[in-house]
A and B are shown apart, each in its own frame.
Chain A
């Protein structure tokens, strides 16, 4: 790890560690919790879209599947928190595999359409499969996360639990991006045919990316169930899928730190724009468009470009000394 990454990572971690002390005990901490859960969702989508170039909208469905798996296992079968979490991860991994194998043969927009269908099917099933999911009423009384005798029943303790997962996932993905599998994913993203010709089994790499993003969705769902102690179909709509997509695009589709920043920004933006009332959605949409047009690599890409430019401004003397035409 180079010095700049270490500095950035520790700085961000420090901010995330002290944030709960700076916000209001009620709504403030609730928002922070949601920002972390969205970070995990967005990090999963980052593996799929940012690394592998697959545009699927199924992230929200895996979030829902994970939430319900956790809710059912902990309320009906009285599994402990960690059991619910592992159960949610297993369910989403299998679902990711089952959805990925047939749909990854589809090209671009057809795959997107198929995953929209899947996301809607999951939500509608949750709404109608009363016996298992409680239908529109959802499942309540999900026990608070507990590790042995340590019960995390305050929003602040749940925040730190989610933060542990965010840190683990960020660390894991940072390593993945710089590994043989991460390079294979990025090669598939840039040129599928060339990647296959250079020895990458493209289907396997795509399925791996799909399963990883699904499991991230499962973890987010499990933490969400533990956080709100209640899951219902309302939380897993396509609007959320769009929001997760925007988080990755705005944060920076190839920078892990940018993805977390994008998740926080888009969790808080609606709050900051609340005063605009009816105009809120218009301003929100316009802001997204501006970022996508002027910063195609997202906020992280913009920050990198700014840093490069500052570096160049710092030593203009050298350029003059070279006597060139200033190109």
Chain B
């Protein structure tokens, strides 16, 4: 069953086409890799899907619901969550509150209930706290709940971004280069975390990543972009053999030399 269906997606920046007529199908329950050389339009695609950019053409369906040209918070409410390549945590909120704020779209207390502290509002706050603690537990940051995110090491900040995204209760989690700047041990732990999120929690994942070890061992399906268009898609094994992919990554010369 298809969870994310992208058709004819096009985004121009001035005269430059960052993404052209892109097709992308993500099945429910899979880890789907989105790879391609630098500047191939991966992050632009992710920004389009998550609503940060408005596409010039094309449609995006999440679980059958159109989400193109809607604001990011709407996409999040519909079940989409993301992390950022350049970490964007809230520096003046505690680690716990960074995650707790992500419960916003799943909770409902209004201003009056908050001022009065109604029993329902107090219960909801306790539930928010419990959910935030569970998300921190998932990424192994429970001990750091009271700290500021800026006090965390780089790898932990990336995991905190994942915890925050998970706290929005997504159907589809978009990870933008989560392994960037991590050492091999951290990468192995990250891989385990992504597999747990997918396997145990049943969240579909779209993964943008440059580290081919992570991509090849995590992903069930891979879509390869170059110059803003899809040049190949399939299982890791199929993509690895694809001539267009080898050419895009290594250049034409390498292909003829290999033959």
Contacts and interface: CB of A to CB of B under 8 A. Distances in A.
A199 B100 contact: no
Contacts of A199: 73, 76-77, 102, 104-106, 168
Contacts of A180: 101, 103-104, 107, 109, 114, 124-125, 128
Contacts of B111: 176, 181, 208, 212
A175 interface: yes
A52 interface: no
Given A186-B93, A189-B92, A190-B90, A196 B115 contact: no
Interface stretch (B55-63, B81-89, B206-214): B81-89
Interface of A is mostly: helix
Nearest to B84: A194
Contacts of A200: 73, 101, 104-105
Contacts of B114: 175-176, 179-182
Contacts of A202: 73
B52 interface: yes
B221 interface: no
Contacts of A189: 92
B97 interface: yes
A172 B115 contact: yes
Interface in A167-200: 172, 175-176, 178-184, 186-187, 189-191, 193-200
Contacts of B33: none
A190 B97 CA distance: 12
B142 interface: no
Interface in A70-123: none
B101 A193 contact: no
B77 to A, nearest CB: 6
Contacts of A186: 90, 92-93, 97, 101
Contacts of B110: 181
B44 interface: no
Given A193-B52, A197-B72, A202-B73, A179 B101 contact: no
A157 B89 CA distance: 48
A201 interface: yes
Interface residues of A, number: 28
B50 interface: yes
A201 B51 CA distance: 12
A254 interface: yes
B148 to A, nearest CB: 11
A73 B10 CA distance: 58
A195 B101 CA distance: 8
A190 B92 contact: yes
A184 B110 CA distance: 12
B77 A198 contact: no
A77 to B, nearest CB: 28
B254 interface: no
B127 to A, nearest CB: 11
A19 B83 CA distance: 52
A180 to B, nearest CB: 5
A190 B164 CA distance: 15
A183 B82 contact: no
Nearest to A183: B101
A201 B71 contact: yes
A183 B90 CA distance: 10
Nearest to B92: A190
B251 interface: no
Contacts of B128: 180
A186 B101 CA distance: 9
Contacts of B71: 196, 201
Contacts of A181: 109-111, 114
Contacts of A190: 90-93
22 contacts: A175-B114, A178-B125, A180-B124, A180-B125, A180-B128, A181-B111, A182-B114, A183-B97, A186-B101, A190-B90, A190-B92, A191-B89, A193-B52, A195-B101, A197-B50, A197-B51, A197-B72, A198-B76, A198-B168, A199-B77, A200-B104, A254-B92
